[in-house]
Amino acid sequence: MTYETLLVEQRGAVTLITLNRPQALNALNSQLLADLITAFAAFDADDSQRCAVLTGSEKAFAAGADIKEMASQSFADMYGSNFFAGYDKVTATRKPWIAAVNGFALGGGCELAMMADFIIAGDNAKFGQPEIKLAVTPGMGGSQRLTRAIGKAKAMEMCLTGRMMDAAEAERSGLVAKVVAAAELVDEAVKTAEAIAAMAPLAALATKEMVNAAFETTLQQGVVFERRLFHGLFGSEDQKEGMAAFVEKRPGMWTGK
Ligand code: CAA
């Protein structure tokens, strides 16, 4: 399958998706969203694929939603079409995926990165929610996900001033899981994805689901949800294999059942 705005390749069990609108610093237009929805759905549906990496270029992960596409839209256009609602399909991806961010991740670019299960940043990464400078606000979840990731004080300051945060500050603030050299970013992210891809698939799905539940429920409900998923994994062949392999001092061989 080829895409107008993405490059997609499979490296073993890892799907590498690269945003590919270099002329617009990977600005996120409607075509790109349609391509992302198709690519993530294909990844989720392919049993040979266990983890994905979404990346951009060394200059820009994505410099935001496409301002030129939005500029002349009316309220009726935006509200009527529920503009950006398609990103809910991207966040509905059940398998784990990582955003590998080099360069600018601004506005919708920062918001898309925050939809990932975690972010790995190159040391040249710059994150920001500069929408206020365009007389609008974040619209793809930035005010919510950034606040949950880095807390109210910093999120409010970032969204109200539109300033950029560099990779070191992003790591300090908990926005990114780790920072690596920009030139090594994709290889490092794929290596991390390969480690995840080597885990028992049902355990990986359950882990993602329960960590995400921490943002949606009370502590008590979340702990019970975790425990029930944990119990459920004892119905899997891979749990028997994983624990037997530990006792027998050998690597586990997963069936995904
Ligand atoms: N939308 C559309 N086109 C964009 C774009 C965007 N978000 N960001 C960059 N581009 C285009 C530029 O217009 C330019 O195209 P032309 O050559 O045709 O003029 C090309 O990409 C290269 O950009 P620059 O010449 O500006 O590159 P630079 O290195 O001088 O600056 C930058 C880089 C600081 C990232 C600058 O491009 C910039 O500020 N971009 C906009 C950032 C922004 O405001 N993002 C938020 C968008 S709104 C949003 O995302 C809403 C939401 O919540 C989802």
Residues with Cβ within 8 Å of 73's Cβ and at least 6 positions away in sequence, in order, are 83
Helix or strand (DSSP H, E) at 127: strand 126-128
pLDDT digits (tens, 9 = 90+) for 157-209: 999 999 999 999 999 999 999 999 999 999 999 999 999 999 999 999 999 99
* Mean pLDDT, all residues of the chain: 98
Sign of CA dihedral 52, 8, 141, 99: positive
- Which tokens sit at 133? 């400078």
In the block, residue with structure tokens 């990582």: 98
Cβ neighbours of 249 (radius 10 Å): 6
Clarify whether 131 is annotated catalytic: yes
Domain 201-248 = CATH 1.10.12.10:
yes
CA pair distance 55, 62, nearest whole angstrom: 9
Q: Which residues pair with 99 in a beta bridge?
A: 54, 119
Catalytic residue among 64, 103, 107, 108: 108
- H helix runs in the chain, sequence order: 30-45, 67-70, 75-80, 87-91, 108-115, 142-150, 152-161, 167-173, 185-197, 201-213, 219-233, 237-247
State whether ipTM is beyond 0.85: yes
In a 10 Å sphere around its CB, with 0-12 CB exposed, 13-18 middle and 19+ buried, how is residue 253 labelled?
Answer: exposed
Per the CB < 8 A criterion, the answer to whether 50 and 14 are in contact is yes
DSSP 3-state of 74: coil
- Ligand 1: residue whose CA is nearest its atom 28: 25
CATH pick for 6-198 out of 3.90.226.10, 3.40.30.10, 3.40.640.10, 3.40.50.300? 3.90.226.10
- Ligand 1: residue whose CA is nearest its atom 37: 63
User: Ligand 1 pocket by C-beta < 6 Å: which residues?
Assistant: 24-25, 27, 63-68, 104, 106-108, 111, 130-131, 134, 138-140, 142
| DSSP summary character for residue 83 | T
Instruction: Determine the average pLDDT of the residues in 95-118.
Output: 98
Per the CB < 8 A criterion, the answer to whether 109 and 28 are in contact is yes
pLDDT digits (tens, 9 = 90+) for 241-255: 999 999 999 999 999
Instruction: Determine the average pLDDT of the residues in 83-101.
Output: 98
CA of 107 to the centre of ligand 1 (A): 10
Q: Which of 149, 83, 159, 84 has its CA nearest to residue 118?
A: 149
What's residue 93's pLDDT? 98
User: Does residue 37 have a pLDDT over 90?
Assistant: yes
pLDDT digits (tens, 9 = 90+) for 42-67: 999 999 999 999 999 999 999 999 99
What's residue 41's pLDDT? 98
Instruction: List every span in the chain annotated with CATH 1.10.12.10.
Output: 201-248
What's residue 191's pLDDT? 98
- Which tokens sit at 211? 């960590």
Instruction: Determine the average pLDDT of the residues in 114-129.
Output: 98
What are the Cα distances from residue 229, in Å, to 44, 95, 223, 241?
A: 20, 16, 10, 18
CA of 20 to the centre of ligand 1 (A): 15
CA of 67 to the centre of ligand 1 (A): 7
Q: What are phi and psi of 14, to 5 degrees?
A: -110, 130
pLDDT digits (tens, 9 = 90+) for 133-164: 999 999 999 999 999 999 999 999 999 999 99
What's residue 1's pLDDT? 87
Q: Which of 127, 96, 41 has its CA nearest to residue 206?
A: 96
Residue 131 confidence class, pLDDT cut points 50, 70, 90: very high
What's residue 80's pLDDT? 98
Would you say the pTM of this structure is higher than 0.80? yes
